[in-house]
Amino acid sequence: MQISLALSNIEHQNLVLPEFQREYVWTIEQAKVLIGSLMRGWPVGGLLLWSTANPPELKNVSVLPNQIGTVQVLLDGQQRLTTLYMLLTGEIPRYYRPEEITNDPRQLFINLDNGDLQYYQSKMSGDLKWRSVTSCFKEAINVFEIADKVAPEAAEKLAAASRFNETLNKLKSIANIDLPVQTVPPTASLTEAITIFDRVNSQGTKLTDAELALTHVTAKWPQARRVLKKKMEELSSNGFFFNLTFMTRALTVAVTGRALFTEIHGAERSELEAGWAKLSKILDYLSNLLPAHAFINSTNELNTTNAIIPLIAFLRQQHQLRFQTADSIKHAVNWLHSALIWARYTSQTDQRLEADIGIVSREIAPWDDLRRAIQEQRGRLEVSSVDLESRGVQNPLYRAVYSLVKAHGAKDWFNGVPLSQPVGKSFSIQSHHIFPQALLRKPKDKGGAGFGSGSLSHDQLVNEIANRAFLTATSNQFSSDTSPSEYLPKVEAAFPGALAAQFIPANQDLWQIDRYEDFLKARRKLIATSLNEFLRSLITKPELPGVRPVEELVALGESFTLEFKSSWQWDTKQNVLNKSLRQSCLKTIAAFLNSEGGTLIIGVDDDGNLLGLEKDLSVQDNSTDKLQQQIIQGIIDTAGTAAAALVRIRFEKSSGKEVAILDVDPSPEPIYSKTDKGELFFCRLANTTRSLGLAEVQGYVEQHWST
């Protein structure tokens, strides 16, 4: 299809965009590369079209589908065509609103002399050789007039005009280029069209897992994208800024109780809308609860919004989508801050979210086990003063300290405004250097600390968390290069307790410039001690004990952290004892140990049917103790004593049938299992157990056990 025809079809809405398509996501650099490639005659990919009289919901088309007739639905290539439409016509295609174009390429300019493409810079002003790409298509450009003004000699004018004309013709010829077109059969259903779209979309800017999930969602529920965006706008007014990736993940959890984006692909519209009804209420609830109980007033105070996902998973299961007790809130807040401090989701995000949501799903009171997962990942939960050394504002502890000072009722040092309740841009919270940078950078012989710029160690000392306090924007303007020994006493006199609320050492000798490093050492200790005390204070009361009944666990279905086995050693098909079947259970246990932990239920088949352990127990004198001992011995024999210590076994009856439930903690080190084929390494992949080859094991171990 000729580009000019495609653009004309877009203008007249003969070529339309389905609602399930993502936004315009190309960067301006990609737009420049596209134009450059087309001018050189290079291939740039094609279009995937679907001619249908029954189109899905369409972007910004107000008429009903049955009023449209047969239309061509653009399934793939919309980023390219949207770019070309804006650059060649100067307008935004009708299927987008102006506010949806975040990377507008229409300031792309071309140098008529050499064909160079660049975005507008001030140096182009007054240079007649630089023309906007759009103006080249929309205006009549007289290359001879330009040559007459820019060529110094008469003999050069004709050659210059020729070069300008050649460049201009190369650019304008883009409109006549044919883009290859693939078509979806008109008889295809919406589901089939989506499947084809998924497969073809491996070219260009590939869809992320979140974008692909949202594509499936909007195919079933066309208004979903608009609904999510509207909620994002509502929440942003309260300081909670979420993107579509987060919203899609949250919706996936609300609908399926799982963290992986693929889980929502098969959800029906009724399930999606029911999940959204829950999620919308949960997000409103959390945007009110987090400031009041976690002292988190904005998503800007989170190093990742993924830490909110397990909270959503927990609340979706609660009566009225709320925490049921004050103690439950405190335990959740403690876990949330721990997850943020120790960067629980900065790597292996999908795996760790899936594992943690598995814990939330399986346990009535999950916070202790969620904390244990962080501890096993990072080695500890308590913060040490060493953790603050040389750490700046990008470290998760910086945001934790901000929440901590708010929890301690901190006020601005110069106007007394509570830091937890600032209103207006003039009172936005900013980071203040307690020892001003100018003073620290100043040479020692001039009264400074001598930490000159250009040294990494000096930069780290100057900008360390322990040299940061929180003030409103108005007050932060007063920092200058005044020594803390001069202004801190005035702060304490005006607002008693304001310094202690931000953990300033009381020893005024440490406020002198020559004691700066001693000040840092003392304040690191105060911050670490206060942070640990604050987090401990939230969980003085233990969580209410309790685990989910086996019926509820089975209803969850198999997942990354939940597996069913029909038996331990009884062949249910042959109805005979088969000790080799033990390996199946032991492999799953080893995989949980090497992944994020999990739960194995023995006595339930893959379809969730409760079979019980009657046959397994019959060969153990009907003794659960003997069966438990045999399972533990099997773990010891194949994986070692340390591995067996990470497995907890309990027996539970349901409908008169007894099953074994094995809760497996993740191992702090790789576990290699002894098998008939030698030592093998097992891990979890989605809801399956697999063994890794030698090369794969090395990469997995480096990634999984790195801190």
CB 313 within 8 A of CB 361: yes
pLDDT at 194: 76
Q: What are phi and psi of 111, to 5 degrees?
A: -90, 115
CB 21 within 8 A of CB 61: no
pLDDT at 65: 46
Least confident of 248-262, 366-380, 470-484: 470-484
pLDDT at 304 over 70: yes
CATH architecture, domain 550-704: 2-Layer Sandwich (3.30)
pLDDT at 545: 63
pLDDT at 476: 64
CA atoms of 411 and 504, how far apart (whole Å):
13
How many beta carbons lie within 10 A of that of residue 69, not counting itself?
Answer: 9
What is the DSSP-derived secondary structure letter of residue 676? T
Q: How far is CA 86 from the centre of its chain?
A: 31
Residues forming beta bridges with residue 441, ordered by sequence position: none
pLDDT at 286 over 70: yes
Mean pLDDT of 439-453: 90
pLDDT at 129 over 90: yes
pLDDT at 64 over 60: no
pLDDT at 68: 54
pLDDT at 21 over 60: yes
pLDDT at 62: 58
Q: What's the chain's average pLDDT?
A: 91
CB 105 within 8 A of CB 87: yes
pLDDT at 196: 79
- Band (478; pLDDT cuts 50, 70, 90): low
| Amino acid type, 320 | Q
CA atoms of 610 and 604, how far apart (whole Å):
5
CB 20 within 8 A of CB 56: yes
Rounded to 5°, angle at Cα 75 from 69 and 76: 145
Residue ranges of the chain that CATH labels 3.30.950.30 = 550-704
pLDDT at 403: 95
Measured CA distances, 417 to 379, 500, 504 (Å): 39, 16, 18
pLDDT at 637 over 50: yes
CA atoms of 58 and 15, how far apart (whole Å):
11
Identify the CA nearest to 364 among candidates 562, 597, 548.
548
Express each pLDDT in 193-206 by its tens digit: 877 777 776 555 56
Q: What are phi and psi of 426, to 5 degrees?
A: -65, -20
Least confident of 60-74, 164-178, 600-614: 60-74
Express each pLDDT in 33-58 by its tens digit: 999 999 999 989 889 999 888 888 88
Measured CA distances, 39 to 35, 58, 138 (Å): 6, 32, 18
Mean pLDDT of 158-186: 92
CA atoms of 433 and 523, how far apart (whole Å):
13
Identify the CA nearest to 360 among candidates 330, 302, 304, 318.
318
Kind and range of the H or E element at 153? none
Identify the CA nearest to 366 among candidates 357, 377, 375.
357
Instruction: Return left, alpha or beta for 706; rule: phi > 0 is left, psi -120 to 50 is alpha, else beta.
Output: beta
Residue-wise burial string across 183-202, b where 16 or more C-beta atoms lie within 10 A, e elsewhere: ebeeebebeebbebbbebbe
pLDDT > 90: percent of the chain = 71
CA atoms of 539 and 517, how far apart (whole Å):
34
- Band (645; pLDDT cuts 50, 70, 90): very high
Per DSSP (E only), the strands in 90-129 are 108-111, 117-119
Mean pLDDT of 273-281: 97
pLDDT at 651: 94
Express each pLDDT in 546-579 by its tens digit: 678 889 889 888 888 999 999 999 998 899 999 9
Mean pLDDT of 199-218: 78
Give the tokens for residue 561: 């952290």
pLDDT at 157 over 90: no
Express each pLDDT in 584-625 by its tens digit: 999 999 999 999 899 999 999 998 999 999 999 998 888 999
- Band (353; pLDDT cuts 50, 70, 90): very high
Express each pLDDT in 339-351 by its tens digit: 999 999 988 899 9
Identify the CA nearest to 200 among candidates 381, 21, 465.
21
Helices (H) and strands (E) in the chain, counts: 28, 19
Rounded to two decimals, the pTM is 0.72
Mean pLDDT of 438-447: 91
